[in-house]
Each structure stands twice: as C-alpha cells, then as structure tokens.
Copies of this chain bind each other. A is one copy, B any other.
Amino acid sequence: MPTKPRFRRRKEDRPNEITEAAFVEFSRKGYAATRVTDVCKRAGVSKGLLYLYFKTKEDLFKSVIRNFVVPQVDALKLAIESSPLPAEAFLRGPFLKLMQELVNSRAQTVIRLLIVEGPKHPDLTAYYCDHVIAEGSAVMQKLINKGVANREFVPSALQEFPQLLLGPVLISVVWKSLFERHRALDTDALIAAQLDLVLKAIKPTHAQEVTA
C-alpha cells in the first residue's frame, strides 16, 4: 500500500495561503515581532517554500497589505460613484454604514498595520497615500461639492477637509486596539454622531448668504 504523500504540489494556492497566514500573524504581533517561522507553521509550509514565493520578510508584508487594499478600494470607489442618491441621503445611508463596517472588518487591522509599520516602508506608504488616501479624499470631496452645488449644503471647510468625516473612524480603530477591553466605546454611535453634527453644521436651515 502506498503511504500518504508527505505533501502535495500546489503551486497555485501557496502564495494565497501564505499571505493569509501572514495577515493573521502580522495583525496579532506586528511586523518586527512576527517570526517568519510562525507564518510558515500557520500556512502549513516550510520556510524554504515561503522564500520561494517571497524574496524577503518585507516583501511578504507588502504583499499582505497590497493584496488586501487594492480590491477593497476598487470596489469602494465604484460603489460610491455609481450611487444616484442625493448627497445627504448617501452620507446618512450607504456611507455611514460603510464607515461603521470599516471598524469591524479586516480593514481595521490593515489600517492599524499601516499606521504602525508605515514609517518603516516608505514605498508602501507612498503607494497607499496615492491610491487610498488621495482617491478616497477626491471622491468624498466630489460628493460634498455636489451637495453644495445643488444647495443641499452650504459652503464650508468640509469641502477642503473631507477627511474630517473619517476622524471618528480613526479614533475607533485606535481605541479598539488599545482600550477595547478596558473601556468600551460604541464606535457605531461615535461615527454616526460626527456625521450628524457635521450635517447639522452644513445644512442651510436658516437664512444664509451664499457668497460665490
């Protein structure tokens, strides 16, 4: 009888499996504290194999981030730009939901990893800056400007700083990673509160001059 083979050849699946394992390990311990050996164990793979698919530990890390970020961002942009809702309805509906989910999904982990490890990987940061930050800001800006154009909103600093809407998302991510078990925070409510306050501030409820 033929004994069970010690391993199978699965060239196609290995990179994904390793990336997935690396995601878990990096998330838990950060870049420096993660041992390549642990990633291998989790992926059920030997060290040699990992180094067949990834040149260095850093290369592995970058793959983890990029493989996660790219599809997310693309999906996101599409969703936002193809919505027919007016600005406020969109913000209070899909946009709010999206921000709230960000904090409870893998994105949270990725955001944290980028904050923590970013400074050590300048090219990765640059990539992220151009693709996620810049494009994200642009989309949000467009949305606000649209609202201003059809008198839904009054002109405000939010046009220049659309990131303000994401403040509570950042607070939530950081809070969860540091204080979650020590002191609870209702992140959904926090995010909703900021949106509500901002909308109150930029909606023209009372007589207001609009200077071109």
Contacts and interface: CB of A to CB of B under 8 A. Distances in A.
A157 B197 contact: yes
Interface in A119-138: 119-120, 125-126, 128-129, 133-134
Interface of A: 30, 32-33, 114-116, 118-120, 125-126, 128-129, 133-134, 156-158, 160-161, 163-164, 166-168, 170-171, 174, 177-179, 182-183, 189-190, 192-194, 196-198, 200-202, 205-206
Contacts of A129: 178-179, 182-183
Contact of A33 (B118, B120, B177, B198): B120
A109 to B, nearest CB: 12
Contact of A157 (B125, B134, B167, B189): B189
A179 B33 contact: no
Nearest to A32: B32
Determine how many copies of this chain the complex contains: 2
15 contacts: A30-B119, A30-B120, A33-B120, A115-B174, A119-B178, A125-B182, A156-B193, A157-B189, A157-B196, A163-B190, A164-B171, A167-B171, A200-B201, A200-B202, A206-B206
B174 A168 contact: no
Given A157-B197, A201-B198, A114 B164 contact: no
A197 B202 contact: yes
Contact of A167 (B158, B179, B183, B194): B194
A197 B158 contact: yes
A133 to B, nearest CB: 7
A163 B158 contact: no
A190 B161 contact: yes
Nearest to A133: B179
A192 to B, nearest CB: 8
A81 to B, nearest CB: 22
Given A115-B174, A115-B177, 7 more contacts: A125-B179, A128-B178, A134-B183, A157-B189, A164-B197, A167-B194, A170-B170
Contacts of A126: 182
